[in-house]
Amino acid sequence: MASDLFTPQKKERKTAVVTGAAGFLGSHLCDRLLAAGYRVIGLDNLLTGSIHNIGHLAGHEDFRFVKHDVSHFIYIPGQVDFVFHFASPASPIDYLEYPIPTLKVGAHGTHNTLGLAKSKGATFLLASTSEVYGDPLVHPQTEDYWGNVNPIGPRGVYDEAKRFAEAMTMAYHRHHRLDTKIVRIFNTYGPRMRLDDGRVVPAFIGQALEDQPLTVFGDGSQTRSFCYVSDLIEGIFRLAHSDEHDPVNIGNPAEMTIRQFAEAILRITGKNLPIESRPLPEDDPKIRQPDISKARRQLDWEPKVDFEEGIRCTIEYFSDFLQSRA
């Protein structure tokens, strides 16, 4: 890396490091931080992220991108005020293809980013996940629920990587008195998702736009709660600037079944397509709904974007993407 990533006259500005900066959520977080006046250093090894997600930031005077795998030692010169650790494969299709890198970025990557925050005296925020609750026996899920996770199942590489990352984050907070935050992210959707990442939102939208049957795993009775990306990022921004150190759920508590979601996509796209069933993947959660009482109380946050509005924006994004690829 260069000896200095920004010009000297900008050193008084707050600087944030974002790992996974070229990913779906990381790229939107970079946008939010830049809009708030931060200088941003984005790190990504581009294993599952895309440089196109941050292409609009090329030449931005307050943004620097460094291609780097954070599972290896991180060197950042100069001042750092915030470290946001968002690097990780996040969809089942990705972490099942890259199980070892997923475990490494949850373990070594978290250790390295915490070490960076400690050396700089920076605030650290970990992007954790609702998957730490596994296939929950408590509904809706509250932050004090310890979860029901199969540690040796195929999804365990992601679930346990995030659970370990949470444990290490809290250890740094307690032992080193580091200012740490943990956000447990529930299902999020919006522009910059990969069409082929295997998650239900891009899968159903892509199938509908290409006039293919919508494929539902199991009977479609399993539930999810969908949060639009701008709402999620605002919650994360508020958490980073709060005094809260324990995990906080950020998501939309409006719950629906996967079959209901498929029907909504067909209605909004105006398509008349069949819905076909596929075998349910191992350890697939049957229910997922966040209790966001803590976020409302501690952060004065709750989702604002209406489901239909958010889905229409996402459909428009994927429609433009498919047309550009044609």
Q: Which residues does the annotation mark as catalytic?
A: 158
* Residue 100: Cβ-neighbour burial (10 angstroms; 0-12, 13-18, 19+): exposed
Count of CB atoms situated within 10 Å of the CB of 1 = 13
Whole-number Å distance between alpha carbons of 116 and 214: 44
Whole-number Å distance between alpha carbons of 257 and 264: 11
The residues, any chain, with a CB within 8 Å of residue 261's CB and separated by 6 or more, are 200, 204, 224, 226
The residues, any chain, with a CB within 8 Å of residue 257's CB and separated by 6 or more, are 220, 221, 222, 223
Type of residue at 185: I
C-beta separation of 223 from 287 below 8 A: yes
Residue 300's region, left for phi above 0, alpha for psi from -120 to 50, else beta, is left
- Three-state SS at 169: helix
Task: Count, in order, helices (H) and strands (E) of the chain.
Answer: 9, 13
Which candidate, 257, 258, 248, 221, places its Cα nearest to that of 302?
Answer: 248
